[in-house]
């Protein structure tokens, strides 16, 4: 799967949940004429716009969400701070409501060869309403940032939900084009089914884990707003 044969795909399909838990392809087909360049393109340099570190002291970066339970009523929010551990609290509220809810997560770090990670935060938001827009805010005490997501509809027969599928994304110039095509598709994916191979940091000496951080900053523009699972 690695090395030169890697490919990038971005397409959308509409799936329906049925009562028995099967996935029925109900309205698939090709939704874009985009085909990625055949030639292998190079990684975007660290100073690229897509890798920009958000401004402000200890600002949350690499913000990403994923599904937090089996029904779509929980979301796990993750992010990195680099200056100090900071707060693991998430404040969240449904759109058109002033009812704020607070959840607190935990922080972890790791080292790998000569790399030391930032402060990695994970926090689970529970008891969410189905089919609703929520805002969430992180970075309390220093620089706060606010994002939003939409919860999936209640599970039931024939309930439609649109997924995107991307694999082998990496962080080349073509990776950026692939992600842009996904975002620009008129059929808006609600959740990304990410089939694996992410940053390709392992192509660098000591698997330069700074390439995990740059990848996290690159994909934030999508994964901070919809779960990648």
Q: Interface with Fe ion by CB under 5 A: which residues?
A: 1, 6, 168, 197
What residues numbered 41-60 form the site for ligand NAG, per CB under 6 A?
A: 44, 48-50
Minimum Å distance from CB 88 to ligand NAG? 25
153 binds ligand NAG (CB under 6 A): yes
Residue with tokens 């990195």: 80
How do strand 75-81 and strand 119-125 relate by DSSP bridges? antiparallel
Burial (CB count <10 Å: 0-12, 13-18, 19+), residue 217: buried
Beta-strand (E) ranges in 57-202?
61-67, 75-81, 89-94, 101-104, 106-108, 111-112, 115-116, 119-125, 133-138, 145-150, 159-167, 191-194
* Between 77 and 169, CB nearer to Fe ion: 169
Q: How many residues bind ligand NAG (CB under 6 A)?
A: 17
Residue with tokens 């008129």: 186
Which of ligand NAG, Fe ion, none does residue 168 bind to, with CB < 5 to 8 Å depending on kind? Fe ion
Contact 129, 151 (CB under 8 A): yes
* Between 87 and 176, CB nearer to Fe ion: 176
User: Can you name the residues that pair with 148 across neighbouring β-strands?
Assistant: 135
* Options 18-26, 86-94, 193-201, 205-213: segment touching ligand NAG (CB under 6 A): 205-213
114 binds ligand NAG (CB under 6 A): yes
List of residues contacting ligand NAG (CB under 6 A)? 44, 48-50, 95-96, 114-115, 131, 153, 159, 173, 176, 180, 205-206, 210
């Amino acid at each position: 799967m690695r090395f030169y044969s890697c490919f990038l795909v971005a397409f959308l399909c509409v799936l329906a949940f049925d009562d028995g838990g099967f996935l029925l392809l109900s309205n698939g087909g090709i939704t874009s004429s985009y085909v990625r360049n055949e030639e292998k393109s190079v990684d975007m340099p660290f100073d690229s716009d897509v890798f920009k570190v958000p401004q402000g002291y200890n600002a949350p970066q690499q913000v990403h969400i994923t599904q937090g339970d089996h029904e779509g009523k929980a979301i796990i929010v993750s992010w990195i701070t680099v200056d100090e551990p900071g707060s693991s609290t998430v404040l969240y509220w449904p759109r058109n409501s002033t009812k704020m809810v607070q959840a607190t997560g935990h922080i972890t770090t790791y080292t790998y060869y000569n790399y030391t990670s930032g402060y990695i935060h994970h926090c689970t938001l529970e008891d969410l309403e189905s089919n609703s827009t929520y805002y969430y805010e992180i970075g309390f005490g220093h620089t706060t940032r606010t994002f939003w997501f939409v919860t999936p509809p209640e599970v039931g027969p024939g309930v439609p939900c649109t997924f995107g599928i991307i694999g082998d994304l990496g962080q080349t110039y073509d990776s950026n084009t692939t992600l842009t095509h996904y975002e620009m598709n008129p059929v808006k994916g609600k959740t990304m089914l990410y089939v694996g191979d992410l940053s390709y940091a392992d192509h660098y000496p000591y698997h330069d884990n700074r390439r995990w951080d740059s990848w996290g900053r690159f994909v934030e523009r999508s994964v901070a707003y919809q779960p990648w699972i």
